[in-house]
Amino acid sequence: MERTQQRAAAEESYAKGLEANRQLAESFEAGIYGADRSIKQVDLAVVVHVLYREESDNISMEQIHSQIDVLNRDFNWEQNDKGLIPEIWRESGETSGFRFHLADKDPDGNFTTGVTRKQTTVSDIGGGEDYYRAEWGGIEPWPQPHYINIWVCEIGGNVLGFTYLPSVSAQPSDGIVMDPRAFGTTGTAVHPYNGGRTLVHEMGHYFGLRHLWGQEEGDCTNTDYMADTPWQREANFGCNDFPHVSCPSEPDGDMFMNFMDYADDECGLLFTKNQIEFMQLVLQTAKVTLLHSPAITGITEPDDLGLTIYPNPAEEKINALFDSRYKGKKFGVYNALGQEVRTGWVSSSVESVDLSNLSKGVYFLKIDSDFVRIQKQ
Ligand SMILES: [Zn+2]
């Protein structure tokens, strides 16, 4: 909130967009506006900028994937700890349909892993205004209309992560900044922040959600614009026992296990239906350009098979990203009749396969017993 207010004070266009978004939230709370609920799934492109001072903070792909997995789980109501939600709120959640993917196209249209890396000499770079400026030791953002930018870097001041509330006016600093201690579930992530839920919380802000206690702590009349969350006086930390009452008007007490409170990762458990719908509404308004981003072309999940193809559909060529277990093995591309039209050997993690003189249609890339469908355009 501090960062958001500082930015609003410094940038008039951001402040205007922020106010427009607050009015949208007010109308949403009043039931005047809602999201288009017919959209069941959206694919969102993420770029992770790993900005490290110590080599130990040059986090692994595995750690990055572990974080993307948590986002997809918690934004799709697939978490397996729903039984810990107090019974009165256990049916409060639902899926957003948001599917987060590491981008596979960079802003120039070239293949990317969706991760950039840079060593910096600036300590606590995320604590200031340098993290998004290359000349000051940071990494420039990729165009915010099409990419959700996440910088993973030292922040300092015991801050785990931060972001800005949405505005149609994108700022160069726009995105989410995360400390490596609170990113993903492995590697540099440290208990109790190694459940990946700091980013779930920040992504909630990124899509317009406020804390449960509203703009400021201290009384029971600050709204978070969500009709299905109770009034709450202040933040809750750690893990609480139900009921925990901070406002006399709420006999069931605080929804302290909501992702938009400050619970430890193992005790933050849900977004409510209104929170989900409001994020969908923000995606369809202030952040609509993220929909149909050209930054993701692949249709297969890297974790399913250990094999990812991009772009897919393809015109001239495909790139196949192979898990290390395939190293040295032969792969083949087959047409719909099962005839082998290409072969190759896996000598590096990414192999390029030329499709230019094949006719349009469906092909399969096969290695061992795994195969991926390829659409040639
Ligand atoms: Zn927050």
The per-residue pLDDT for range 236-294, each reduced to its tens digit, is: 999 999 999 999 999 999 999 999 999 999 999 999 999 999 999 999 988 988 987 88
Residues 54 and 125 in one domain: yes
Does the pLDDT value for residue 93 go beyond 80? Answer: yes
Tell me: do 268 and 317 sit in the same domain.
no
Judgement on whether residues 266 and 126 belong to the same structural domain of the protein: yes
pLDDT at 155: 98
How high is the mean pLDDT of the chain?
92
* % of the chain exceeding 70 in pLDDT: 98
For residues 231 and 274, membership in a common domain is answered with yes
Q: What residues contact residue 99 under an 8 Å CB cut-off, 6+ apart?
A: 41, 42, 43, 44, 72, 76
Number of domains in the chain: 2
Least confident of 181-195, 337-351, 361-375: 361-375
CA of 201 to the centre of ligand 1 (A): 6
The range of the structural domain enclosing residue 277 comes to 2-290
Distance 199 CA to ligand 1 centre (A): 10
Q: Is the pLDDT of residue 195 over 50?
A: yes
Q: Which of 2, 55, 94, 202 is catalytic?
A: 202
> Is-catalytic flag, 202?
yes
Q: How many whole angstroms from 279 Cα to the centroid of ligand 1?
A: 15
320 pLDDT band, cuts 50/70/90, is confident
Tell whether 133 and 180 lie within a shared domain.
yes
- How far from 45 is each of 101, 149, 169, 177, 292, CA to CA, in Å? 5, 9, 19, 16, 9
Nearest Cα residue to 64 out of 82, 48, 85:
48
CATH code at 264? 3.40.390.10
Asked whether the beta carbons of 191 and 198 are under 8 A apart, the reply is no
Q: Which is it for the CA torsion 79, 97, 275, 192, positive or negative?
A: positive
My answer on whether 248 and 312 are in the same domain is no
Which pTM does this prediction carry?
A: 0.80
Asked if 312 and 297 count as a contact pair (C-beta separation under 8 A), the reply is yes
Determine the Cα–Cα distance for residues 309 and 302; give it in Å rounded to an integer: 9
The answer to whether residue 26 is domain-embedded is: yes
Residues 232 and 312 in one domain: no
